[in-house]
Amino acid sequence: MAQRKTKSIYTCSNCGYQSPKWLGKCPDCHQWNTLLEETVPSGRGKAHRSSEPAAAAFRLDEITSNDDPRKQCGISELDRVLGGGIVSGSFILIGGDPGIGKSTLLLQAVDQLSQAGKALYVTGEESCLQVKMRAERLGVKPGQLFLLAETALEAILDKVREINPDYLIIDSIQTIFTTQIESAPGSVSQVRECAGQLMQLAKSQALPTFIVGHVTKDGSIAGPRVLEHMVDTVLYFEGDPGHPYRILRAVKNRFGSTNEIGVFQMSDTGLREVKNPSEIFLAERAEDAPGSVVITSVEGSRPILVELQALVSSAPYGTARRTAMGIDHNRVSLLVAVLEKKVGMSLLSHDIFVNVAGGVKIDEPAADLGILAALASSHLNKTVPRRTVVFGEIGLAGEVRAVSQPELRITEAARLGFTRCLLPASNCSSVEAPEHLTLCPVKSAQEALELLFEN
Ligand code: TYD
Ligand code: MG
């Protein structure tokens, strides 16, 4: 029998980019030292196997949909990020740094799900006993939850056929391997092949499947980005290890919006939902401190009030430092330039630090006016009145531009007891002021700062 030839190929463990030769830097995702060698059988083309029956084609109106295809897992923050619940047969990837709380979240989600149906939790990292101890601590009720400590894909697939679960959880995809491929567990080809086979199972049996994927900085194991294109939904669990808050963000969702976020707090009894994130993020606010401003940010359908902090101090040496945490530093540089050129504040020889309190990340332009106000407040050493909230985008000419969903932002500000709101003039005409909240329309950065620091 002729020997099957193999050839070497180099695959990026971060994004899956493939190259016939080794490269120090991945040309696709620009990570260093992430290309690893793998051997693949040459001529591994996708020949059409005529013995398999072809799938039938349907006219659109011949396809019937069930009325309630979504199942809620009882954690409303998770359900909302998923687009209203779990769609049958959906393949969901949960990515995040090791230790951020992915296993905890899924174990809590499975609690409710296993009361109504069977759930199989495959753990490749911990023993069944360890998972059981954690489940007890989290107060998971003994429902129809089955644990399987296994890493061989073939054995997992056999068990799925035997148990026939309604939900499948794989924790984590990087520990699972198939004997069909020679490379080590966690390599790109293993991760991709195992995920591919699990996805076929999910689609053919209409079995909702969650897979956990660790994100690693050093590229030693394949990251979830390698799988992003094939799964239905990609959720990232993020948070600052120094803060108890965790944010679940949808990056891709075939069954819902990608703007939604879920906010959780890690406690000694697991993750707790944070229903009113604004109240928590503002709880530790240092009131009447220069450099602190509250903005209303909208994530998906949900307004969140957060505190922005800026510190402007004179730099002792030649080059001033510009540091931004939780916010794009390019926007901070742009706003510093606007303050210099349009407002006439001299910040060139100052160190500038901007931070979003609570470890939150803000990436919408509506935060511009807040950043500008925080910078000016710190520089002038004047406080922004404590019951004032601001939002608006700032253009290069120093003009304040309209942002999306002004009503949502205003309503949330009024609900939390703010009495004055600076907003873009062009947004003001389309909204009605709630009781006890005065709207102050502004057209330019200059005008906004005059209003804030007039006395
Ligand atoms: P885990 O879910 O194991 O993280 P991942 O699966 O993403 O690697 O979470 C581990 C961290 O969470 C660990 O640092 C301890 C913390 N934790 C709590 O603070 N309280 C709890 O009830 C649990 C289960 C974990
Ligand atoms: Mg884990």
pLDDT per residue over 183-230, tens digit each? 888 888 889 999 999 999 999 888 999 999 988 766 666 777 888 888
Identify the segments of the chain with pLDDT beneath 70: 1-5, 41-53, 65-68, 217-221, 455
- Using the atom order of ligand 1, give the atom closest to the CA of residue 138: 22
| Structural domain span for residue 35 | 6-41
Q: Do 26 and 99 have their domain in common?
A: no
266 CA: nearest ligand 1 atom? 19
CATH code for position 90: 3.40.50.300
209 shares a domain with 94: yes
Query: Is residue 103 in a domain?
Result: yes
Distance between CA atoms of residues 395 and 402, nearest Å: 10
33 domain residue, yes or no = yes
Mutate to test the pocket of ligand 1, among 133, 171, 240, 266 (most ligand atoms within 8 A of CB): 266
pTM of the model as a whole = 0.77
Same domain, 425 and 402: yes
Look at ligand 1, atom 8, and give the residue with the nearest C-alpha: 99
Same domain, 286 and 410: yes
Residues whose CB is less than 8 angstroms from the CB of residue 5 and which lie 6 or more positions away in sequence, other chains included = 41, 42, 43
**C-alpha 84 to ligand 2 mean position (Å):** 25
CATH of the domain at 376: 3.30.230.10
Q: Is residue 92 in a domain?
A: yes
User: What count of other Cβ atoms lies within 10 Å of the Cβ of residue 29?
Assistant: 15
Residues 304 and 395 in one domain: yes
Q: How far apart are CA 12 and CA 223, in angstroms?
A: 9
How many A from CA of 174 to the centre of ligand 2? 11
Specify the pLDDT at position 400: 95
Residue 298 lies in a domain: yes
Q: Which protein residues have their CB within 5 A of the ion that is ligand 2?
A: 103
Distances (CA, A) of 120 to 24, 71, 371: 41, 16, 47
Residue 169 lies in a domain: yes
Confidence (pLDDT) at 43: 57
Do both 210 and 91 map to the same domain? Answer: yes
Q: Please state the atom number of ligand 1 nearest to the C-alpha of residue 107.
A: 2
- Note the pLDDT of residue 350: 92
What's the rounded Cα separation, in Å, for the pair 156 and 170?
10
User: Which ligand is the nearest neighbour of the Cα of 214?
Assistant: 1
Q: Are residues 254 and 115 in the same domain?
A: yes
Note whether residue 52 is domain-resident.
no
pLDDT the model gives residue 365: 93
Predicted pLDDT at 219: 61
Q: What pLDDT, in 10s, does the model give residues 111-142?
A: 989 988 899 999 999 999 999 999 999 999 88
d(CA 233, CA 85): 12
Q: Which atom of ligand 1 is nearest to the CA of 134?
A: 24
User: Same domain for 205 and 351?
Assistant: no
Q: How many domains in the chain?
A: 3
Instruction: Tell me which of 275, 297, 325 is where a domain ends.
Output: 275
